[in-house]
Structure 1
Amino acid sequence: MATWIWILIVVLALILGLVGGFYGARKYMEKYLKENPPFSEDQLRQLMIQMGQKPSQKKLNQMMHSMQNQTGKN
C-alpha cells in the first residue's frame, strides 16, 4: 500500500477518536452530575448559615429547584 493511504488512515482514526472521546466524556459527566449533584440540601443549608442567612425550608427548596433546573437546561 502507498504511504499516503496509511497517513490518511491514521489521520482519520485520530479525528474519529477525538470526536468520539469528547462526546463520550461529555455524556459520562452529564450522567455523573445528574446522579451525584454537586450540592446537597445539607451543604446548601450550611453555606447559607455561613453567609449569615437563616435558611428556611421554603428558601432551600427554591434554591435546590433552581439549581436542578439550571443543570437540566445545560
Structure 2
Amino acid sequence: MALWLAIVLIIVALIGGTALGFFIARKYMEKYLKENPPINENMLRMMMMQMGQKPSEKKIRQMMAQMNKFQDK
C-alpha cells in the first residue's frame, strides 16, 4: 500500500516542479525583456550614426528585415 502512495507523491512532485519551473522561467524572461528590450529601428539608427554612417530609411528597413529573418530561424 505504501508503494502506490510513494509513486503518486513522486508524480505529483514532478508535475508541481514542472509547473513551478515554468512560471519562474516565464517571470524571469518577462523581467529580462523589460530591462533589455530587443533592438528596434531607433537603436539601429543610433548605432549606424555612431559608426559614422548616415542611415537612410530604406537601409534601416532592410537591416530590420534581415534581423527579424535571422531571429525567426
- Taking structure 2 as the reference length, what is the TM-score of the superposition? 0.56
1:8 aligns with 2:3: no
Once residues 56 and 13 of structure 2 are traced to their aligned partners in structure 1, the CA distance between those partners, rounded to angstroms, is 53
Once superposed, what is the RMSD of the aligned Cα atoms? 3.0
- Taking structure 1 as the reference length, what is the TM-score of the superposition? 0.56
Partner of 1:21: 22
Partner of 1:46: 46
Once residues 13 and 66 of structure 1 are traced to their aligned partners in structure 2, the CA distance between those partners, rounded to angstroms, is 45
Where has structure 1 moved over 4 Å in runs of 4 or more? Answer: none
Partner of 1:71: 71
Seen in structure 2, the aligned counterparts of structure 1 residues 61 and 11 have a Cα distance that, compared at 3 Å, is: same
Q: Unpaired runs of 5+ in structure 1? A: none
Q: Unpaired runs of 5+ in structure 2? A: none
How high is the sequence identity, in percent, across the aligned residues? 44
Give the number of equivalent residue pairs. 62
Seen in structure 2, the aligned counterparts of structure 1 residues 66 and 13 have a Cα distance that, compared at 3 Å, is: farther
Letter paired with 2:70: Q
Letter paired with 1:49: M
